[in-house]
Structure 1
């Protein structure tokens, strides 16, 4: 009889432990779903989002595709280029830099984009 009770208690304990473990796994899965995108993932997304907003004429000057661009976060100043939306001056924005087919002395094609919406807000000066 003592052995029977021990076996039953062992099964109950195992059942409870398995149930708790399953709950932890579900909680971890929910956290993964709710996690925001990493900066690297967001940066990759902004390159393509900005590319899709460029005109065909603007794309003619770019060497390669959106995948060849680099991205940085900067604080936008009015003196940094042709800023279409001045409300972003003094705020942190992305600059997406596409390599250019034009003269290397001109540098790449820099496009400023809103961090949240990835909407183009201006273009950097080229030298």
Structure 2
């Protein structure tokens, strides 16, 4: 009886471990995936790097350092933040805010960049105090 119980318990544990290892392999994908609407979605990629590649050379020259120096946060865009943006469809939606330090010696010495949360597409620059 003990042997049967141990065998069943071992089998259940083995299947559980096998299922968990498959989930980890599927979740560690660094490739662009598609969601239901066909939009590109990035898994495990750094939003700073992807947005950095979309910036103009003048913007990159203005930043002190590179994409690794940006600080990412999520915010909800409101009307006051949108004056520098042409695309008003993001008003009231959650977006990434990436704060890059600039080479400017005066204050403010940073550049704010907004990016779409799902596609990491560059939306525009934000206002700086």
Residues 43, 71 of structure 1: 8 Å contact kept:
no
Residues 48, 67 of structure 1: 8 Å contact kept:
yes
| 1:89 maps to which of 69, 88, 91 | 91
Closer, same or farther in 2 for the Cα pair 1:34/1:84, shift >3 Å? farther
Q: Residue 26 of structure 1 corresponds to which residue in structure 2? A: 18
User: What is the rounded CA distance, in whole Å, between the counterparts of 1:90 and 1:121 in structure 2?
Assistant: 14
**What is the Cα deviation at residue 93 of structure 1?**
0.7
Matches within 5 A, 1:23-62: 23-33=15-25, 45-62=46-63
Structure 1 segments unaligned to the other structure (5+ residues)? 1-8
Q: Residue by residue, what CA displacement relative to the aligned partner does 1:62-101 show, whole Å, maximum 9, x if unpaired?
A: 0111111101111112322411321001111111011101
Mark the structure with the bigger radius of gyration.
1
TM-score by length of 1: 0.76
The structure with the greater share of residues assigned to helix is 1
Structure 2 segments unaligned to the other structure (5+ residues)? 30-42
SS at structure 1 position matched to 2:62: coil
- Runs of 4+ aligned residues of structure 1 deviating over 6 Å after TM superposition are none
Q: Residue 128 of structure 2 corresponds to which residue in structure 1? A: 126
Q: How many residues align?
A: 115
**What is the Cα deviation at residue 21 of structure 1?**
1.2
SS at structure 1 position matched to 2:84: strand
